[in-house]
Structure 1
């Protein structure tokens, strides 16, 4: 196997996707053959900085490999940490190449535009002799269990809500909705209010409301989110940025509330479920939602939008319809992955079905012995094993909790077992350093909404 002139070791490949090229072995082989020091740093809000020191080749024959490597590594850092200012040290030619690639007309135009909007700052590059020092701002999150609380999890295919009394769920509900297909924000607002009222019927009072939702949230405001993909920008600014605040206030008046990215809440759910810290939570549903709770039980302030982090180096990798990039996590760790692999397994899916309905159909086939659907979940497990090693390279987590409807049933068990086998075979050091876990079936599907209920600090 070879990518941009870098020879890669033989690895376990997905049975339904033999062209797959896991990126961590490529990065390791690239760095092993490179000799020139090169550093990258990404600055985000409040002066926080993430740094990555590496090496490049710096030769004409490896110029294409250097450019690909640095471009993918910057994209990884952007979606893992978040940021709008990139510092590069070690190569002026690569600096010029990245300015071209990450521009309004470059190959990474989506990332350029997205980060500028989220952080409300121009996206820029800085060429320097030495990148800034690492700087973070971790904060405690959730685990407030007292009182009567509502936890709402806004997914792309269904919305989940839980009523929680002193840390115990007394009611949970899942309702199918289609937020990504609706351009009228009142559709989203009405769905949120309906969920809140449904949970409130099972509580003597409402003391606090916590929200878990895909997207980027700063000070409880929606800065960007795929749930509102069809909403025009003027209506987004007018009705979406404070949509959760409005829905909660209009329903309950002035009560404590908190809105967090669903990835962070998945990590919190993992930490609470396991009774541990240093947890990576991965929710596989409409998209891939990832969050991280560090060794001190804090969130890091990182973006953690790993749905857009590259995981596959093959040039034929599937394109994400939103970012128009290829080989990113959303097509490997979501219901899209199941749908993508179904034809290779000989499973025809009715195009009139929704993505959630297609997933449910494939999962139903797993009830049959020797089902062709098994190779779909084995393939996702291979993806996951290789990608967990990649994620560990950046996070250094000790525990992984897997959530979301893709992990439901026998398919989820097969994904977990296959991922563990890949780790044991190809990444034994990582395998010995981490533990993988699936919560029970109920927690797999509604664990985030229960954890979301613990977000608001009523005293704060």
Structure 2
């Protein structure tokens, strides 16, 4: 079994030809995986999406465990990290899509996918864009501090970002913000970021997964 983050890491290894790669898929949730200095997976589960990055006891709760755990990174670096900020970012969304409405707190991904599309559409509106981009700046801050935390446990030279949250102008703003956080707050951390065009961001994991060798039973 391989998760989408590990597929992202392998896609990065294939693209750049180096190891110590953290792959992060910012889609329905955060899928994160790691390839070591030799460009290989570690053999253990790299499910960084469940690392606690927000120590606020009132942080965003995980609907899969009934709200027991707050602050897990996948609630901040996947589409839910964007959709909870939609209304605050000036995006016109239905009343039941304004966080923390009950419809936004279930395990269903579909509603968040639709709200993310509204955010991306609002980014194309010149009047709304200055406010909406704050959503991506906020996620970029999440990303920068999260990567700093990940480096406490993994040697990371490269980060590959894929997934629908990273698409478009908003994704570029998010990435620039994360770089700024690392440069200003953690200057000793040297990470090279890698990304792709919007089509590969959406389907690149499928391509990389299809290239994985079949296991013989």
Question: Normalising to structure 2: TM-score of the pair?
Answer: 0.86
**Equivalent residue number for residue 443 of structure 1:** 200
What is the root-mean-square deviation in Å for CA atoms of aligned residues?
Answer: 1.8
2:176 to 417, 423, 428: 417
**Equivalent residue number for residue 339 of structure 1:** 83
Contact 1:273–1:439 (8 Å) recurs in 2: no
Paired with 1:395 and 1:327, the residues of 2 have a C-alpha distance of 20
Question: Normalising to structure 1: TM-score of the pair?
Answer: 0.42
Paired with 1:366 and 1:348, the residues of 2 have a C-alpha distance of 12
**Equivalent residue number for residue 268 of structure 1:** 10
**Equivalent residue number for residue 303 of structure 1:** 45
Contact 1:286–1:334 (8 Å) recurs in 2: yes
Contact 1:266–1:283 (8 Å) recurs in 2: yes
Q: Which runs of 4+ in 1 moved over 3 A?
A: 457-460
**Does 2:153 align with 1:394?**
yes
Paired with 1:359 and 1:436, the residues of 2 have a C-alpha distance of 23
Unaligned segments of structure 2, at least 5 residues: 98-109
Paired with 1:458 and 1:382, the residues of 2 have a C-alpha distance of 40
Instruction: Output one character per residue of 1:133-185: Cα deviation in whole Å (capped at 9) or x when no partner.
Output: xxxxxxxxxxxxxxxxxxxxxxxxxxxxxxxxxxxxxxxxxxxxxxxxxxxxx
Paired with 1:275 and 1:360, the residues of 2 have a C-alpha distance of 34
Contact 1:290–1:305 (8 Å) recurs in 2: yes
1:354 deviation in Å? 2.1
**Equivalent residue number for residue 368 of structure 1:** 125
1:379 deviation in Å? 0.1
Paired with 1:364 and 1:264, the residues of 2 have a C-alpha distance of 30
1:407 to 136, 150, 166: 166
1:456 to 194, 213, 216: 213
Instruction: Output one character per residue of 1:173-219: Cα deviation in whole Å (capped at 9) or x when no partner.
Output: xxxxxxxxxxxxxxxxxxxxxxxxxxxxxxxxxxxxxxxxxxxx3xx
Instruction: Output one character per residue of 1:251-300: Cα deviation in whole Å (capped at 9) or x when no partner.
Output: xxxxxxxxx22221111111112222211000000010011111111110
Aligned length: 200
Greater helix fraction, Structure 1 or Structure 2:
2
Paired with 1:287 and 1:304, the residues of 2 have a C-alpha distance of 14
What secondary structure, in the 3-state scheme, does the structure 2 residue paired with 1:289 have? strand
1:368 deviation in Å? 2.3
Paired with 1:412 and 1:302, the residues of 2 have a C-alpha distance of 30
Paired with 2:113 and 2:216, the residues of 1 have a C-alpha distance of 39
Contact 1:271–1:279 (8 Å) recurs in 2: yes
Greater strand fraction, Structure 1 or Structure 2:
1
What secondary structure, in the 3-state scheme, does the structure 1 residue paired with 2:49 have? helix
Instruction: Output one character per residue of 1:113-145: Cα deviation in whole Å (capped at 9) or x when no partner.
Output: xxxxxxxxxxxxxxxxxxxxxxxxxxxxxxxxx
Unaligned segments of structure 1, at least 5 residues: 1-216, 218-259
What secondary structure, in the 3-state scheme, does the structure 1 residue paired with 2:84 have? helix
1:344 deviation in Å? 2.1
Structure of greater relative contact order (alpha carbons < 8 Å, 6+ residues apart): 2
Alignment of 1:41-52 (within 5 A): none
Contact 2:27–2:163 (8 Å) recurs in 1: yes
1:328 to 67, 72, 82: 72
Contact 1:264–1:291 (8 Å) recurs in 2: yes
**Equivalent residue number for residue 70 of structure 1:** none
1:309 deviation in Å? 0.8
Contact 2:79–2:165 (8 Å) recurs in 1: yes
